[in-house]
Structure 1
Amino acid sequence: MTALTTRRFLQTAGLLIAGVVLSACGKKEPPAAAPAASAVASAPAPAVKVYVVGTDAAYAPFESQNEKAEIVGFDIDVVKAVAQKAGMEVKFVNTPWEGIFNTLQQGDRDFLVSAITITPERKQTMDFTEPYFDAQQLIAVKQNSKIGKFDDLKKLKVGVQTGTTGDEVVTKLQGKTSTNIKRFESTPLALKELESGGIDAVVADNGVVINYVTNNPGSKFKSIADKAFQPEQYGLAVKKGNADLLAKLNKGLADIKADGTYDKLYTQYFGAPAPKGAAAPASAASK
């Protein structure tokens, strides 16, 4: 009797324990805790826009390629300084001069820096920042040349870079149908042709001509200035109507002029501080 009672008690207890276990297994899990604030904060930040900058890297000292194929020069350092002030990231892409403005119109480049003269014609299809460099055309000739002024080039063979303001002024002097105007993809190529005797002179921006004459003494060139050449100013070019980017670049330019960065770069590349009032906004665009 006692043994039976004990067995039945154990059976009953076993059933009760099993029921408790099954009941526990059937309970719902509590809802997952919300992610910690630190986990939310560690989410990847949105990608920063990198502005693609077009430049024809064959125009030392403004833009050229070094032995590592890196794009360097005064223009490049100016844009890097402007971008730092404006909180922008930039990427420079070597872009042939002849198609450089099309890349801007098509959206392949966000803006351009390439010793670009601000002209009324160009302002019809693109917008420019405030000027950052004052320029003027110079004539490069051999040291023994008898050429003394721009008008002397009227019937001579003159080299220019295609589509530049140098091309424009020589075309105006000799006429659109002149066969004496020799056009090249870059100013250094035109100067090489002058060295070999294929042309009588080269007309190009003063910064480029002076840099070439200084760094190539074996060429035995000299440069000639002429009052017939109108003052010019370079600006950064953006797509027409891109007011937001234009404002950022203008602010960056103003900042580097104010804190001395611009003067430091000018001295580094041209051997002397920028003239007083250099690259001041002009009331009317130059040539």
Structure 2
Amino acid sequence: MHKQILPIALLAIAVIAAVIAGCTGTPPDNDIPDPDRTYYIVGIDEFYPPHTYLDEKGKPAGFDVESMIWIAQDQGLDIRFKTREWKGIISALLDKKIDILCSGLSITPERAEIISFSDPYWAINQGIAVKKDSPVTMEKVMSGSAVTGTLKESTAADWIKRYLVGIGVLKKDRFKPYDDFQSGLTALEEGQIEAFIYDAPGLIEAIEDRNLEYLGSIKTGEKYGIAVRKEDKELLEKLNTGLKHLTESPKWAELIAKYELNENN
């Protein structure tokens, strides 16, 4: 009896492993759209912990990554993760270099005009980081007295342009947008800028091992969503269904605890 059960059990394990591997494989390095491709490429930013990053083995990891794997398995979707620079990541979706964007992307009216979003899955505020022992205060940042940086094409950049630069509080030459997150934080450490504004969860995580500290939050009430192209309505429906199932399952609370997410950020 045991001799018969063991091969069956091993076969079941192999099938499960194959399913998981199918959901987390790596696509080719080229960006040439393949009309015969049978899987979906999920674009992520590798520098946005705890939502998306590469682990010590160089594999995609994070809250959004694990959420996307769960949704894919729930909905029978074959997915592959591919890292992209944040600058141009929406263009990559529109150009069919990726099919799904799940990497802490805030839902905005401007973005919703060109791409479709799932139901929101997380809410965040913007955060401010400064160098440790810096004399810069929240008041100095909000009054435009501090040279301030952020990531290009981010909602933080939009907020600074609208509420600081746009009304003349922060002079244009004191606003420093960077092509990537890490360059901005390095500039802050080296004193090239005095403050860095970005999504609070990612910012708090990113400065843990740096000579930087978290100054405080700006209440923007942004919401993250999974993005697809406008024409991919069936895919969007599956993502929403899978997301609903995920948030109603015990796995959701498990992921929130695992990645120490805080809804107050």
TM-score (norm 1): 0.72
Alignment of 1:201 onto 2:190:
no
Matched residue type, 1:106: D
Cα contact 2:178–2:184 (8 A) shared by 1:
yes
Deviations 1:77-105 (A, max 9, x none): 11011111111111011111111111211
Secondary structure of 1:251's counterpart equals helix
Larger Rg: 1
Between the aligned residues of both structures, percent identity stands at 28
- DSSP-derived class of the 1:231 partner: strand
Matched-pair contact (CA < 8 Å) for 1:210–1:223:
no
Q: Decide whether aligned partners of structure 1 residues 153 and 268 sit closer, same or farther in structure 2, where only a CA change above 3 A counts.
A: farther
- Residue 111 of structure 1 corresponds to 100
Q: Residue in 2 aligned with 1:184?
A: 178
User: How far apart are residue 187 of structure 1 and its match?
Assistant: 2.2
1:171 and 2:161 are equivalent in the alignment: yes
Matches of 1:128 and 1:258, distance apart in 2: 19
Alignment partners' CA distance in 1, 2:84 and 2:95: 14
Is 1:270 aligned to residue 260 of structure 2? yes
Q: What is the number of residues matched between the two proteins?
A: 225
CA distance in 1, matches of 2:85, 2:136: 34
Q: Provide the rounded CA distance (Å) in 1 between the counterparts of 2:121 and 2:37.
A: 26
Q: CA, structure 1 residues 234+198, in 2 after alignment: closer, same or farther (shift >3 Å)?
A: same
Q: Distance in 2 between matches of 1:150 and 1:252?
A: 44
Structure 2 gaps of 5+ residues are 1-35
Gaps of at least 5 residues in structure 1 are 1-46, 279-287
Closer/same/farther in 2, CA of residues 153 and 195 from structure 1, 3 Å limit: farther
Kindly report structure 1 stretches of 4+ aligned residues shifted beyond 6 Å.
Answer: none
Q: Residue 225 of structure 2 is aligned with which of 230, 235, 238?
A: 235
What TM-score comes out, normalization by structure 2 length?
Answer: 0.78
- The question of whether the paired residues in 1 share the 8 Å contact of 2:127 and 2:214 is answered with no
State the distance in 1 between where 2:145 and 2:64 align.
35
Instruction: Please give the alpha-carbon distance, in whole angstroms, between the structure 2 residues aligned to 1:271 and 1:243.
Output: 30
Which deviations, in whole Å up to 9, do the C-alpha atoms of 1:234-280 show, x marking residues without a partner? 000000132100000000000011112111111100167x68xx9xx
- Which residue of 1 is the match for residue 45 of structure 2? 56
Give the structure with the larger strand fraction: 2
One-letter identity of the residue aligned with 1:202? F
Kindly provide the amino acid, as one letter, of the partner of residue 211 in structure 1.
E
- Distance in 2 between residues matched to 1:224 and 1:245, nearest whole Å: 38
Q: Aligned to 1:127, what secondary structure does the other structure show?
A: strand
Distance 1:212 1:95 in 2: 18
Which residue of structure 2 lines up, in the alignment, with residue 124 of structure 1? 113
Kept in 2, the 8 Å contact 1:149–1:224? The answer is: no
Of the structure 1 ranges 148-157 and 104-113, higher mean CA displacement relative to structure 2 is found in 148-157
161-170 vs 55-64, greater mean Cα deviation: 55-64
RMSD, aligned CA: 2.3
SS of equivalent residue, structure 2 residue 120: coil
Secondary structure, in 3 states, of the residue corresponding to 2:42?
A: strand
